[in-house]
Amino acid sequence: MIENIKFNSSYNFAFIDETTKKEIRRKLLKAICIPGYQVPYSSPEMPIARGWGTGGLHLTLALIGKTDTLKMIDQGSDASVNACNLRDFVQLTTNCKTTYDTNEATLIQTRHRITEEKLTDKQIMVFQVPQPEPLRRVERYEYKTRQMHAESDYAKMWLTLYEAFVKWGDVMHGAGYPVMVNGRYIMSPSPIPRWDVPNLNMADCIYLFGAGREKRLYAVPPHTRVEPLEFEDVKFHIENFKDVKCESTGYNIAYMDEMYQDDGITKKFYINDSNFLDKMIEKIAVNQHSNKYINQLKKNEQ
Amino acid sequence: MAYVSVKGGADAIAQAKELVEYYRLKDKTKPIEIEQIKSQFRLAIDKIMGEGSLYAPEYAAIAFKQMEGDVLESAFVLRAFRATLQRKYYSDILDTRNMFVKRKISSSFREIPGGQVLGPTRDYSQRLIDSTKYNESEQEIENFLSSFEGKIEKEKMQEITSFNKVIDLLKAEGLLMPAESNYDKTVKDVTLEAVKYPAPRSVTLQMLARGETGGLMTLAYSSMRGFGDGHGTIGELRYGSVKVLVSDTQGRKRYIGNVNLTECEMITKINTTKEAKIPYFAIGYGLVLGQNETKAICMSILERGIRSGKSENPANNQEFVLYHTEGVEAMGFTNHLKLPHYVTFQSGLNNLRESVKRNTNIQDEKMKVYKEMAKQFQK
């Protein structure tokens, strides 16, 4: 049996070797400098399967320090199985503090949600991205989409939005609604619901995006314009929950989960963001995002 | 409250992990030794090392045991382990002309210099299930080995040297296509940087060598069957061990060991180059770790197809082939569909419902039908 010292001893701090971490951090700096631009990076293999958050993990592990507090969420929930597994992995290799509390975290890794609570300039949010290329639905080849971005050739994208409107009376993009970043690059915000998209705009925190399988990372720096694609007369809108209420709190200005009951007919709604829901139930003060869509909902409520 | 079920995540993972370990062991059979896996599952180990992109039979065997014999999962484990090892050196270019040949065949010629050497293969035996394997005893194994070893003429073993390649014959005659002058000879390392397309040939070769056997075969078969340049002829397929040399800082060559490799040179149809109108045979190249002939053959077909520049066939399109034969990534992404997607689904659901509402007549009709169906269901 061969012996491998590295295999027997514990892994490097945050699992990835320092050279690769440095490479990822340098690519992140580039991404910050060119908001919305997809930077190719090494994307080393992880002991987590491709498509299960490896891109997010690369960024988290490259950034995390001994004093960081990590929050890990999957579809809005801290306790979802894959979130638990990823949190355990980061915790085991860094011994960092972990939390469910959005305010307490310095680093938040998320899959498909932005927290309902607003993030500060002391916080970084890392998104797991399955498909970083917003143009992939209109152009299947990578070498062509890179060219299209370089030339700001977004005609095909606008055309599909228009076609959807003609066919169905609305732009039918659900999660992962394409956005224009800093007036230059069309970017996939990862499959967050439309509810979350306006919260990317002019934020105080840093939003970082990691697509492990596709080996791309990109960023939305603080105070950057992020606008959902829309027409003058056909506007972007967020999901509609005005006719339902959260079963636990009675609140409805938050993204909701829909749960069918055992009878298969009746359904109940609950606030999706589990930490936000817990705080609402325990009547702890929350600092919710404000944007023109949410503000409008609140105004209608009064 | 419905949320309780979602919050048991950590506990559920621990239980599932324990249960699957129980499934591996529950029949209380004797533990399989790593040495046994290494020697008796030779071809599985070769496949794992190739797709796992790490030549380490012991680790491949551990992974195979740990993953209950799932070859692709084992390759994944090996890849993840590999990523924790620092790349300290690159080996010198392997010289497959000096391979210690264990098997070499050519379908292009009846006889080749050094002869056709069938070597270890099941190509010409009937695939009938051999029920005597059910009770194979150690005594039988010993008997077989001693009778087999008795047949080896030791002094002749010394005479075996290396063999030149079949393609050298064609090259000497000027029938092989010279390397395209415009092709990108840059050497990249796909394990250290992201691939950008169009990618140099070094990327094609590396990614195909790491690719998943079944994926490579699917696309190569499509190329042979009608969606490509058709049926090539194997110039030479050889399997054997090759010395690996590494140059140290003083430039001295250090021998670090042998690896077993399968190499395939596929002669494809007659072509002319753009520069000269003289026709040539074009060649496709495949080289994979261990003995994996299907993969080496398919690699050579795809490598040729990609270089042909006729990308209307999927198997000739570099980006299509390289992205989709990457088995470890494909498997990961396929299985990620098992992760919860209720947030994203809700967003689409919301869109669909609003779209339906816009046409209330249809909505009313449908609701009637659904309600009727629900009633039927409850009965």
- Which of B57, B82, B107 is at the close of a domain? B82
Whether B128 is in a domain gets the answer: no
- pLDDT over threshold 90, residue B158: no
CB proximity A44 to B under 8 Å: yes
Are B77 and B101 part of one and the same domain?
Answer: no
CB contact under 8 A, B344 and A256: no
CA dist A142 → A40, A149, B200, B303, B328 (Å): 12, 11, 15, 19, 20
CB contact under 8 A, B332 and A142: no
> Who wins on pLDDT, A149 or B370?
A149
The DSSP secondary-structure symbol of B227 reads S
Whether B244 is in a domain gets the answer: yes
The mean pLDDT value of chain B amounts to 89
Q: Do the beta carbons of residue B298 and residue B219 sit within 8 Å? A: yes
- Residue B363: per-residue pLDDT: 64
Q: What is the pLDDT confidence band of residue B2, given thresholds at 50, 70 and 90?
A: very low
- Residue B351: per-residue pLDDT: 86
Whether B127 is in a domain gets the answer: no
CB contact under 8 A, B351 and A195: no
Q: Do the beta carbons of residue A119 and residue A203 sit within 8 Å? A: yes
- CA-nearest residue of chain A to B320? A141
Residue A238 token pair: 């967020």
Substitution target in B15, B344, B362, B372 with the highest count of A β-carbons within 10 Å is B344
Q: Interior CA angle at B98 toward B92 and B100, to 5°?
A: 115
Q: What is the pTM (predicted TM-score) of this model?
A: 0.86
Residue B141 token pair: 């194994």
CB proximity B329 to A under 8 Å: yes
Residue B305 token pair: 């197809």
CB proximity A240 to B under 8 Å: yes
Q: Which of A41, A50, A258 sits opposite B346 (nearest CB)?
A: A258
Are B175 and B245 part of one and the same domain?
Answer: yes
Whether B309 is in a domain gets the answer: yes
User: How far does chain B reach from its first CA to its final CA, in angstroms?
Assistant: 28
- Residue B160: per-residue pLDDT: 75
Q: How far does the CA of residue B355 sit from the closest CA of chain A (Å)?
A: 6
Q: How far does the CA of residue B56 sit from the closest CA of chain A (Å)?
A: 9
- pLDDT over threshold 50, residue B110: yes
Are B164 and B241 part of one and the same domain?
Answer: yes
- Residue B79: per-residue pLDDT: 94
Q: Do the beta carbons of residue A71 and residue A253 sit within 8 Å? A: no
Non-local (6+) Cβ contacts of B237 within 8 A are: B103, B104, B105, B106, B262, B263, B264, B265, B293, B296, B297
Are B167 and B191 part of one and the same domain?
Answer: yes
Residue B92 token pair: 């010198």
Q: How far does the CA of residue B68 sit from the closest CA of chain A (Å)?
A: 17
> Who wins on pLDDT, B181 or B34?
B34
Tell how strand B100-105 and strand B233-247 pair up.
Answer: antiparallel
- CA-nearest residue of chain A to B13? A81
| pLDDT tens string B288-330 | 999 999 999 999 999 999 988 777 899 999 999 999 999 999 9
Averaged pLDDT for residues B101-128 = 90
Are B164 and B306 part of one and the same domain?
Answer: yes
Are B245 and B324 part of one and the same domain?
Answer: yes
- Residue B92: per-residue pLDDT: 93
Strands (E), chain B: 100-105, 233-247, 253-272, 279-289
Whether B175 is in a domain gets the answer: yes
- pLDDT over threshold 80, residue B146: yes
Q: Do the beta carbons of residue B339 and residue A77 sit within 8 Å? A: no
Q: For residue A183, give the nearest of A152, A142, A161 by alpha carbon.
A: A152
Averaged pLDDT for residues B253-258 = 94
ipTM of the complex: 0.82
Q: Which of A52, A76, A247 sits opposite B332 (nearest CB)?
A: A52
Are B49 and B101 part of one and the same domain?
Answer: no
Q: How far does the CA of residue A67 sit from the closest CA of chain B (Å)?
A: 24
In chain A, positions 187-226, which contact chain B (CB-CB < 8 Å)? Answer: 191-195, 213, 215-216
- Which of B298, B315, B330 is at the close of a domain? B330
- Residue B72: domain span: 17-82
Residue A21 token pair: 């971490």
Are B190 and B281 part of one and the same domain?
Answer: yes
CB contact under 8 A, B6 and A175: no
Q: With contacts defined as CB-CB under 8 Å, which chain A residues touch B6? A: 77, 79-80, 274
CB proximity A91 to B under 8 Å: no
CB contact under 8 A, B194 and A80: no
- Residue A8: per-residue pLDDT: 47
Whether B48 is in a domain gets the answer: yes
> Who wins on pLDDT, B239 or A263?
B239
Q: Which of A111-115, B266-270, B362-366 has the highest mean pLDDT?
A: A111-115
Walk across the sheet containing A226-228 and list its strands: A185-187, A179-181, A226-228
Q: Which of A17, A43, A240 sits opposite B350 (nearest CB)?
A: A240
Q: How far does the CA of residue A135 sit from the closest CA of chain B (Å)?
A: 16
Q: How far does the CA of residue B304 sit from the closest CA of chain A (Å)?
A: 20
CA dist B278 → A42, B173, B182, B233, B272 (Å): 43, 13, 18, 21, 6
- Which of B330, B348, B373 is at the close of a domain? B330
- Residue B173: per-residue pLDDT: 85
Q: What share of chain A is helix, strand, coil (3-state, %, to 5)?
A: 30, 20, 50
Are B178 and B239 part of one and the same domain?
Answer: yes
Report the number of distinct structural domains present in chain B: 2
* Structural domains of chain A, ranges and CATH numbers in brackets: 11-136+161-226 (3.40.50.11310), 256-301 (no CATH)
DSSP, collapsed to helix, strand or coil, labels residue B271 as strand
Q: With contacts defined as CB-CB under 8 Å, which chain A residues touch B194? A: 40-43, 215-216
Whether B47 is in a domain gets the answer: yes
Substitution target in A9, A15, A20, A45 with the highest count of B β-carbons within 10 Å is A45
Q: How far does the CA of residue B262 sit from the closest CA of chain A (Å)?
A: 24
- CA-nearest residue of chain A to B330? A50
CB proximity B84 to A under 8 Å: yes
Q: What is the pLDDT confidence band of residue B88, given thresholds at 50, 70 and 90?
A: confident
CB proximity B346 to A under 8 Å: yes
CB proximity A34 to B under 8 Å: no
CB proximity A45 to B under 8 Å: yes
CA dist B266 → A227, B209, B236, B238 (Å): 53, 15, 7, 12
- CA-nearest residue of chain B to A114? B343
Buried b (16+ CB within 10 A) or exposed e, A236-269: bbbbebeeebbbbbebbbbbbbbbeeeeeeeebb
Q: Would you write out chain A's pLDDT as a tens digit for each of its 302 residues?
A: 445 554 445 678 999 989 899 999 999 999 999 999 999 999 999 999 999 999 999 999 999 999 999 999 999 999 888 999 999 999 999 999 999 999 999 999 999 999 999 999 999 999 999 999 999 999 999 999 999 999 999 999 999 999 988 888 888 888 899 999 999 999 999 999 999 999 999 999 999 999 999 999 999 999 999 999 999 999 999 998 988 999 999 999 999 999 888 888 889 999 999 999 999 999 999 999 999 999 999 998 87
DSSP letters of B175-212? -BPPPPTTS------TTTS---SS--HHHHHHHHHHS-
Give the C-alpha separation, B341 to A76, whole Å. 11
Helix-helix angle B213-225:B42-52, to 10 degrees:
90
The mean pLDDT value of chain A amounts to 93
- Residue A125: per-residue pLDDT: 98
CB contact under 8 A, A84 and B333: no
Non-local (6+) Cβ contacts of B98 within 8 A are: B162, B242, B243
Tell how strand A179-181 and strand A185-187 pair up.
Answer: antiparallel
CB proximity A5 to B under 8 Å: no
Q: Do the beta carbons of residue B308 and residue B316 sit within 8 Å? A: yes
- Residue A1: per-residue pLDDT: 42
- Residue B242: per-residue pLDDT: 96
- Residue B353: per-residue pLDDT: 85
- CA-nearest residue of chain B to A248? B1
Give the C-alpha separation, B25 to A129, whole Å. 37
CB contact under 8 A, B335 and A257: no
DSSP, collapsed to helix, strand or coil, labels residue B241 as strand
Q: Do the beta carbons of residue B169 and residue B10 sit within 8 Å? A: no
Half-sphere exposure of B317 (CA within 13 A, CB side): 14
> Who wins on pLDDT, A27 or B161?
A27
Give the C-alpha separation, B209 to B202, whole Å. 11
Are B76 and B100 part of one and the same domain?
Answer: no
- pLDDT over threshold 60, residue B154: yes
Are B116 and B29 part of one and the same domain?
Answer: no
DSSP, collapsed to helix, strand or coil, labels residue A100 as coil
CB contact under 8 A, A11 and B84: yes
CB contact under 8 A, B84 and A52: no
Whether B270 is in a domain gets the answer: yes
Buried b (16+ CB within 10 A) or exposed e, A45-65: bbbbbbbbbbbbbbbbbbbbe
- HEC string for A132-161: CCHHHHCCCCHHHHHHHHHCCCCHHHHHHH
CB proximity B348 to A under 8 Å: yes
- Residue B272: per-residue pLDDT: 67
Are B167 and B267 part of one and the same domain?
Answer: yes
DSSP letters of B21-78? HHHHHTT-PPPPPHHHHHHHTHHHHHHHHHHHT---HHHHHHHHHHTTT-HHHHHHHH
Residue B71 token pair: 């070859």
CB contact under 8 A, B6 and A77: yes
CB proximity B194 to A under 8 Å: yes
